[in-house]
Amino acid sequence: MSLLSGKKGLILGVANDHSIAWGIANAASNAGAQLAFTYQSESFEKRVKPLAKAAGSQIVLPCDVTDDNSIGAVFSALEEEWGRLDFVVHSVAYSNKNELNGGYTETTRENFLRTLDISCFSFTALAKRSAPLMAKGGSLITLTYSGAERVMPNYNVMGVAKAALEASVKYLAADLGPRAIRVNAISAGPMRTLAGSAIGGAREVYNWNKEFSPLRRNTVLDDVGGAGLYLLSDLAAGVSGEVMHVDSGFNVVGVPDLLRYRDD
Ligand code: NAD
């Protein structure tokens, strides 16, 4: 399969081999893409470098998305190494763990701003930097969760950040569409990752999704990998501004079929 052969892509958000970014990177690499990776800080470097190597990547750079200079350095390096870019995967989010538990009302101003900066604004900052390198068009994807659309326990300020992120996808799609740059989001079902496990009650939400999603199973890395591959490839040439659910169909369920647990 060579859906992405000849394409060059930047992957942000690999922390380890459970990361959603890694699932998409793996699928992209298997489909022939050349990849560059970033890691948040030194503590992630030792985990990201071997994965990047496994994906045949020569470019592995630090990037803290709260720092414009750090983002700038990544794009300067890509311009020098590649001179162009075909796609970006933004799989980055953060909120203080203490506020991913309990009520949304308790959100502090400081954590609200930090959460929105890292989990939402950073995608817009990346889009702005990417566009000049995408003279022949491109594809930008980000990761969201249905806690943007409906209330999920303990998701709190992250739900607000994801709602803003999903709105950003639409505005960016409108801004960049005339330059043939497509902007989409994947709304993944709950997965056992570093970020996922920071949310209070993650295990219960995970089990609930498994029990009541139409496919009766949880989302796995290959699911998001395949969806990412589609959105990054020319198969999705006509798709932009979309939030695509990859959640075993859970988002379509209103009231779960609790009757199947009744004996009478
Ligand atoms: P993960 O912990 O593997 O990835 C989160 C990444 O964000 C990490 O690589 C971390 O280094 C990075 N990050 C955080 N702050 C950063 C900063 N300041 N600068 C640069 N990078 C920073 O967890 P994941 O579940 O793979 O999360 C990836 C994306 O998927 C997130 O946007 C998350 O909200 C989203 N998502 C996750 C789930 C889930 O259940 N795990 C479901 C839907 C959406």
Condensed to tens digits (0 to 9), the pLDDT of residues 75-123 reads: 999 999 999 999 999 999 999 999 999 999 999 999 999 999 999 999 9
pTM higher than 0.95, yes or no? yes
Q: Is the confidence at residue 264, as pLDDT, over 70?
A: no
* Residue 258: both structure tokens together: 């609790």
CA 233 – CA 22 distance, rounded (Å): 17
What Cα–Cα distance (Å) separates residue 21 from each residue in 18, 65, 88, 228? Answer: 8, 15, 11, 9
Q: Are strands 138-144 and 87-90 parallel, antiparallel or unpaired?
A: parallel
Mean pLDDT of the chain: 97
SS3 40: coil
pLDDT at 258: 81
Ligand 1 pocket residues where CB is under 6 Å: 13-15, 19-21, 40, 44, 63-66, 91-94, 118, 143-145, 188, 190-191, 193-196
pLDDT at 257: 84
Q: Is the confidence at residue 19, as pLDDT, over 90?
A: yes
Condensed to tens digits (0 to 9), the pLDDT of residues 229-250 reads: 999 999 999 999 999 999 999 9
Q: Looking up tokens 């699911």, which residue turns up?
A: 223
Q: Tell me how far the alpha carbon of residue 94 lies from the centroid of ligand 1, in angstroms.
A: 7
39, 155, 206, 230: which is the annotated catalytic residue? 155
SS3 84: coil
Q: Is the confidence at residue 260, as pLDDT, over 80?
A: no
Condensed to tens digits (0 to 9), the pLDDT of residues 165-220 reads: 999 999 999 999 999 999 999 999 999 999 999 999 999 999 999 999 999 999 99
Mean pLDDT on 65-83: 98
112 burial type by CB count under 10 A (0-12 exposed, 13-18 middle, 19+ buried) = middle
145, 171, 206, 230: which is the annotated catalytic residue? 145
